[in-house]
Amino acid sequence: MSYNIKMILTLLSFLMLNLQAQTLLDRTQDFVTKKSNNLANRLDSFFADERADDEFGRSRIRLRSAYTLRERDPGKMRNQYRINLKLPHLEDKFRFKYKKEKKVGQKSTSQEPPPLINENWIFNADSGVSAAIPPRLVLRARARKNIATTNWIHRFSEQLTYITDRSGLTEETSFNSDFGINENLLFRFVNRKTWRVLKKEFFTSHGPTLIHQLTEKDALNYSFLLNSVIEQKSWFLNGYTFSVNYRRDLYKDWLFLDVIPGIDFPKTWSFRRTPFVVFQLEALFGE
């Protein structure tokens, strides 16, 4: 009898230790996930990424002027003007009962701040004008959702774009995965598919990026992307690109300079290296 009691006590002790280890592991995973999400939000805000504007509910006006120099190609100037709008009424219509409004690993209360990881559906729209002759109007609508799993945060986005030229309607789907390496370095794996409906063109891009915050005023984005084309039931590599985006806050979080050197290896040039550099000024007005 005493032997059986010892076995039961040993088994209970083992189960308690296992439960404590499981709880500690869950808390560690929640902490790492929150840390990765905070880092991604900070870096995407600095680079004025649309995702940060969408999730933080910002309405912004963007003025962007970029000059591109590429080998075997004359320099090109591109000016864009965009207005980003949040659509809260559309979000309310899609608030299902199973939505997650709590922080990861914590219960929700009415006194808590907004969730660190927004796992609801987010709907946004923006419009823009390209300074061409004649000018082109660009209209976009987006739906987003975040999915937190262990140490990773996966971000799904579906976007529809209409341009008032021969491009017409474009559908774009992206699924990016974020992992925080340390407090200033984020690893992101990008997956993106683009379908130009009228032209019947399908493109995909896949690859890793490293986003590094140097100081409060400087950051770097290292990117390596494989670009492919889906055509007549064939999927083939169309080229690959390596680039480094250096971004500098010139004045009080509203005027930014980007210098983006890189190398293209396009299939149209038999994958011959094609260096390029982009100089960009961006002004942000709004929240």
Q: Please give the CATH architecture assigned to the domain spanning 2-94+114-286.
A: Beta Barrel (2.40)
Name the phi and psi angles at 244, rounded to 5: -130, 120
- Terminal CA-to-CA distance of the chain, rounded, Å? 72
If phi > 0 it is left, if psi is from -120 to 50 it is alpha, else beta; for residue 232 that is left
**Pairing relationship of beta strands 201-213 and 152-163 according to DSSP bridges:** unpaired
| Distance between CA atoms of residues 61 and 48, nearest Å | 11
What is the residue-level pLDDT of the chain in tens, covering all 287 positions?
555 565 665 666 655 655 554 554 444 455 567 778 888 889 998 998 888 877 777 777 888 899 999 988 888 888 888 777 666 655 555 554 334 433 433 443 333 344 467 778 888 888 877 666 677 788 888 899 998 887 889 999 999 999 887 778 999 999 999 999 988 999 999 999 999 888 888 999 999 999 999 999 999 999 999 999 988 778 888 999 999 999 999 988 889 999 999 999 998 888 899 999 999 999 988 76
| Distance between CA atoms of residues 247 and 259, nearest Å | 7
pTM for the structure as a whole: 0.75
Beta-strand ranges (E) seen in the chain are: 60-70, 73-86, 122-130, 136-149, 152-163, 168-182, 185-196, 201-213, 218-231, 234-251, 255-266, 274-286
Closest CA to 230 of 204, 208, 192, 268: 204
For the chain, the structural domain boundaries read 2-94+114-286
| Distance between CA atoms of residues 49 and 101, nearest Å | 23
